[in-house]
Amino acid sequence: MRYDEFHRWSIEDPEGFWAEQAKAIHWHKPPQHILDYSNPPFRKWFVGGETNLCHNAVDRHLDERGDQLALVGYSTETGSVRELSFRELHREVNAFASVLQSLGVGQGDRVVVYMPHTVDAAIAMLACARIGAIHSVVFGGFASLNLALRIDDAQPKVLVCADAGIRGGKVIAFKPLVDEALARAQHPPAHVLVVNRGLAGELPMQPGRDLAYGPLREAHADAQVPVVWLESNEPSYILYTSGTTGKPKGVQRDVGGYAVALALSMWSIYDVRAGQAFFSTSDIGWVVGHSYNVYGPLIAGATSILYEGLPTAPDPGIWWKICEQYGVRTMFSSPTAVRVLKKQDASWLKKHDLSKLQYLFLAGEPLDEPTAQWISESLGKTVIDNYWQTETGWPVLTLMPGVELKPVRLGSPGFPAPGYDVRVIDENTGEDAGVGEKGVLVLQPPLPPGCLSTVWNNDERFVASYFSHFREPLYSSLDWAIRDGDGYTFILGRTDDVINVAGHRLGTREIEESVSSHPGVAEAAVIGVQDAVKGQVPVVFATLKPLPGADADERETAAQMLQTVADQLGAVARPSRVYVVNALPKTRSGKLLRRSLQALAEARDPGDLSTLDDPNALEEVKRALARGPEAGS
């Protein structure tokens, strides 16, 4: 079946289409209804069906491929490689699940996982899925305040953490960050389960609360934990994403729809089947890590490779060495990573046998044409951009070599994936934009399987955040897009105040709140500015409070702002530059002109300034940009 027929089937007969796709996973109890859309925009897929993500990812493969590699943890930071067959993974997951149960964790309980990108983190996730617990993985680079916010929203029974992470040879102790987060949290968990990697020396352990996983694992090593069968629409996990307010949104995913969508995507999009190898370089703390480092490849019966380290160490050929060693068929990375490699000698891409590698998929941020051209020509492989969000859980726009590989068009992720009824509409009229006309990318509900069910504990925010932007109840991606005459879609950037730094979504409002918490800051505006390597970086414009009896040291205060953000939100959110100005450009109604600030910072036309309250403020910004930042580079 050709792509056009395949996609049309999914839109014109969604129940028939998804009933067929549901045959790819194991159902303990088959679905009674394929789709319930009686309460829009909420929808339920595979109603009444009972299944389990862990069973589909691990148990069902034991008879046919129990000795096949399931997970490979490849760390150039620690110089270690850990390989687990499906049978060995099954044993480890059962032990972890048994330990969680001994701590009182059961169906519907939440478990926060604060771990680096290791096999143990994947085991913890699968163990939660096995017993019907809801995991909430928090990216290991986030600081204690960010972790505390997520703890209070999820209210976990247990928190699982590593002693430390390591990046570029620098050890980052996790346990002190956890202790600080729990001191801040209003709803700390009863227990902290510590996986000690031997990186951080002697750990501070609070008696009664903190437990070392190693001895507990030995005590539960031979446990056989029965799978808890869940109705398809029960929550499987929460993954927090930045919003336009300071409070992150807990994206809630279901069980059955997610499993079916991932099973479909593995063969149809990534062209990977049982017995083959898939290598995603994403971190387990992000949605790609959930979908395509852990659940997707394992559900497909494929080998998944988890990589901890830099793309350039010990040399810029390390990823291609891994591809050769494990016979990787499809690789998934980010444009930022490719731009880092682009600074290296292209000969590193030719030093290893890549005959089994067929495709390199890139996502997480817009893929610029020069980067796409360079990696495609240097690698000699098909490079496919694909577009999706934390909320969707799997690609919205992509090419589908498993069905029919349409021609790659540089700058475009391609066409809608099955089940996605994609439109580009005028933000003012809500009408479909014409060919080549800029509009907002929206999805016609009901959303397909795999997409978020709601925002955790906040149905109202789910509706307000995603379905309240137009007269029709359309899901708004909050991304600008255009379509060309052949139906290829091009993503142009965000319509809101969320920026994309090296594939990490950051809310500028969160960073503004952090900067403004510095006692010397009167007001701050944070914008995203284009960056050749990271795609975008946060940049701060701030006014300072007069200090009584002394003049403020602007450079020192600016440096302190950077440190404040790093301490509160983590190094990933640290702004690239800080400019100190006497006034910020605002409208007469007091609204900050962030888009004008962004245009000036990128040396573009700031646009219509007829609503500007104080023209001198704009000149202030221009002078600040000309003299350079007070902090950063």
Q: Look at residue 615 and tell me if it is in a domain.
A: yes
Does some domain include residue 552? yes
* Residue 554 belongs to domain spanning: 506-632
Using CB atoms within 10 Å of the CB of residue 345, give its burial: 0 to 12 exposed, 13 to 18 middle, 19+ buried.
exposed
**3-class DSSP state of 580:** strand
Task: Name the amino acid, one letter, at 185.
Answer: A
pLDDT higher than 70, residue 242: no
428 contacts: CB under 8 Å, gap ≥ 6? none
Instruction: Determine, yes or no, domain membership for 304.
Output: no
Supply the pLDDT for residue 497.
64
Characterize 170-183 residue by residue with b for buried, 16 or more Cβ atoms within 10 angstroms of its Cβ, and e for exposed.
eebbbbebbbbbbe
Sequence-distant (6+) residues with CB within 8 A of 17 are 9, 10, 418, 419
Residue 538 maps to a domain: yes
Q: Is residue 578 part of a domain?
A: yes
The mean per-residue pLDDT over the stretch 387-393 comes to 95
549 part of a folded domain: yes
| Mean pLDDT confidence for 361-378 | 85
Q: Element (H or E) spanning 161, and its range? A: strand 158-162
pLDDT in the model for residue 140: 86
Contacts of 541 (CB under 8 A, 6+ apart): 524, 525, 526, 527, 579, 581, 584, 597, 621, 624
pLDDT band for position 549 (cuts 50, 70, 90): very low
Comparing C-alpha atoms, which of 326, 393, 339 is closest to residue 368? 339
Whether the per-residue pLDDT at 589 is higher than 60: the answer is no
Is residue 576 situated within a structural domain?
A: yes
> What mean pLDDT is predicted for residues 227-252?
87
The H or E element containing residue 423 is strand 422-425
Q: How many distinct structural domains can be found in the chain?
A: 1
Does residue 528 surpass a pLDDT of 80?
yes
Residue 260 has pLDDT above 60, yes or no: yes
- pLDDT reported for residue 66: 98
Where is average pLDDT lowest: 104-118, 218-232, 618-632? 618-632
Q: Where are the alpha helices (DSSP H) in 425-553?
A: 459-466, 508-516
The pLDDT of residue 244 is above 70? no
pLDDT at 551: 52
337 or 551, which is more confident: 337
Which H or E run includes 164? strand 164-167
- Confidence label for 591 from pLDDT (cuts 50, 70 and 90): low
Mean pLDDT for 254-278 is: 98
- Report whether 181 contacts 149 (CB < 8 A): no
- Determine which of 170-184, 232-246, 584-598 has the lowest per-residue pLDDT on average: 584-598
- Looking at per-residue confidence, does 444 or 584 come out higher? 444
| Residue 71: pLDDT band with limits 50, 70, 90 | very high
CATH code for the domain in which residue 587 is found: 3.30.300.30
Q: Percentage of the chain surpassing pLDDT 90?
A: 70
Comparing 535 with 462, the larger pLDDT belongs to 462
User: How large is the average pLDDT for residues 346-374?
Assistant: 88
Of 187, 184, 185, 204, give the one whose Cα is nearest residue 196. Answer: 204
Q: Mean pLDDT in the chain?
A: 91
pLDDT digits (tens, 9 = 90+) for 33-52: 999 999 999 999 999 999 99
Q: Mean pLDDT across the stretch 296-305? A: 98
Label residue 550 by pLDDT band (50, 70, 90): very low
pLDDT digits (tens, 9 = 90+) for 475-516: 999 888 999 999 999 987 777 666 777 767 676 767 887 888
Determine which of 411-420, 492-501, 547-556 has the lowest per-residue pLDDT on average.
Answer: 547-556
Closest CA to 464 of 450, 476, 452: 476
Is residue 34 included in any domain, yes or no? no
Determine the pLDDT at residue 337: 86
pLDDT-based confidence at residue 631 (cuts at 50, 70, 90): confident
Q: Of 583 and 214, which is predicted with more confidence? A: 214
Do the Cβ atoms of 380 and 360 come closer than 8 Å?
no
